[in-house]
Amino acid sequence: MFKKILVANRGEIAVRVIRACKESGISTVAVHSDVDADSMHVRLADESICIGSHQPQNSYLNISALMSAADITGAEAIHPGYGFLSENAQFAEIVTKHGIKFIGPSSDLIKKMGDKIEAKKIAKENGLPVIEGSINNVESVDEAKKISNKIGYPVLIKAAGGGGGKGMKIINKPEELEKLFSMAKMEAKKYFNNDNVYIEKYFKNPRHIEVQVLSGKNRTVHLNERDCSVQRNHQKLIEETPSPVIDEKIRSNLLKQTVKMVEKIGYEGAGTVEYIYQDGKFYFLEMNTRVQVEHPVTEVATGIDIVKEQIWIANKGDTTLTQEDINTRGHVIECRINAEDPSKNFQPSPGIIRVFHQPSGFRTRVDGAIFQGAKITPYYDSLICKLICHGRNRNEAIQRMLRALDEFVIEGITTTIGLHKKILIHKKFIRSDFDVNWLAKEKFY
């Protein structure tokens, strides 16, 4: 097994990876920007090294600085976490050429699946249903009009090189197309340095379902699905497993087809295949070639440590798991807690945490990197921790989550804890009668 791993990330995911390494007897190296010197991940690691200033491009996105840190500390492998460089094919290639193991799939697969147009082609070639629309980069407004007229409005323009709602525009009628097409391309260029876009049929009331996989040279296994349909502007807020809206026949077909595709492309590591689900049918959306924010939902339901398995596969090539090893139990819900003010259009809320108490108790887990006195800076993503609750059934999981949220005390900054409470007691959430656009329609904030 690896003796030393550098964690090329920060915050709660860096803490999560460091914990998995420690339990595996592996030394860890934390990297940090100047403002993160006193952060939890730095405190927990065996070694730490400053890689630059608070601007991400000067630190956590600085490949040269990261490689220098790996050289100086003698790290044998790099775990990228999620975000930052985790799906950067160039970074994975440089790490590999440098004789250091990148804990993730090959740079070639990261590149292919990171390009949404290419990923859609691969999914279609391997038998997955895809959303009707373009299969290549749409270069002109005239081409966009032809495709949109063919599949029918409303349509969705999406950036080929990224996600998170950037470069994404909903076109409800032909008159809107020219302006929003140009805006989508401009955003795509700005955020992803790639102005390629594609067009798909827009689903008005879909659910967002994703399948967690672990894949080695020997086999691919699925760890069942997650339902991530409680979203704001394409950003997930609450995730759960199993999905309360798909039956066993649909679930079995979805899982089987996903495993088949992942095996065929020769994927290695942890990955997630995401789908749109509406009217009893699912359609391929994208594949994330990394561990996801919501991976604890699956870990709690299955008892499988996904991060440890990632590290094992990177070191040995094979997965130790068989499909028979995967047994889910009960229902699990995760709430992402952000340092944001929902009443002010989710404006970030940086500051110092003056008072802090996190919940505990039966089947209650908190993944975070915060503590009393911690500084929440405005330079990075506003996610500060995740609360995960497990119940015998969905109702018990909801009740346990409400109890745990009531116990959570974070003073000094504004958080989304209050919003989560409102969502969990809403009759539509309790009935699971919602879709990805529900929050905006209900006006929770």
Residues 269/215, Cβ–Cβ less than 8 Å: yes
**Tokens 């409400």 identify what position?**
402
Q: DSSP E strands: which ranges in 193-330?
A: 197-201, 207-215, 220-232, 235-241, 269-278, 281-288
189 burial (CB, 10 Å; 0-12 / 13-18 / 19+) is: middle
Say whether the peptide bond before residue 342 is cis (omega within 30 degrees of 0): no
Residues 227/241, Cβ–Cβ less than 8 Å: yes
The helix (run of H) or strand (run of E) holding residue 95 is helix 89-97
Phi, psi of 208 (to 5 degrees): -110, 110
Give 150's contacts (C-beta < 8 A, 6+ positions apart): none
Residue in 290, 336, 365, 400 annotated catalytic:
290
Q: Is the dihedral of CA 80, 83, 84, 86 positive or negative?
A: positive
CA dihedral 181, 187, 188, 191 (to 10 degrees): -170
Residues 179/165, Cβ–Cβ less than 8 Å: no
DSSP states along 378-425: TTS--EEEEEEEEESSHHHHHHHHHHHHHH-EEESS--SHHHHHHHHH
Q: Which two tokens stand for residue 324?
A: 């028979």
What's CA 332's distance to the chain center, in Å?
A: 17
Q: Report the chain's terminal Cα–Cα distance, integer Å.
A: 48
| Residue 365 among the catalytic residues | no
CB neighbourhood size of 329 (10 A): 11
Buried b (16+ CB within 10 A) or exposed e, 44-80: bbebbbbbbeeebeebbbbeebbbebbeebebbbbbb
Q: DSSP E strands: which ranges in 279-330?
A: 281-288
Q: Which amino acid type is present at position 396?
A: E
Helix, strand, coil percent values for the chain (each to nearest 5):
40, 25, 35
What positions carry a catalytic annotation? 290
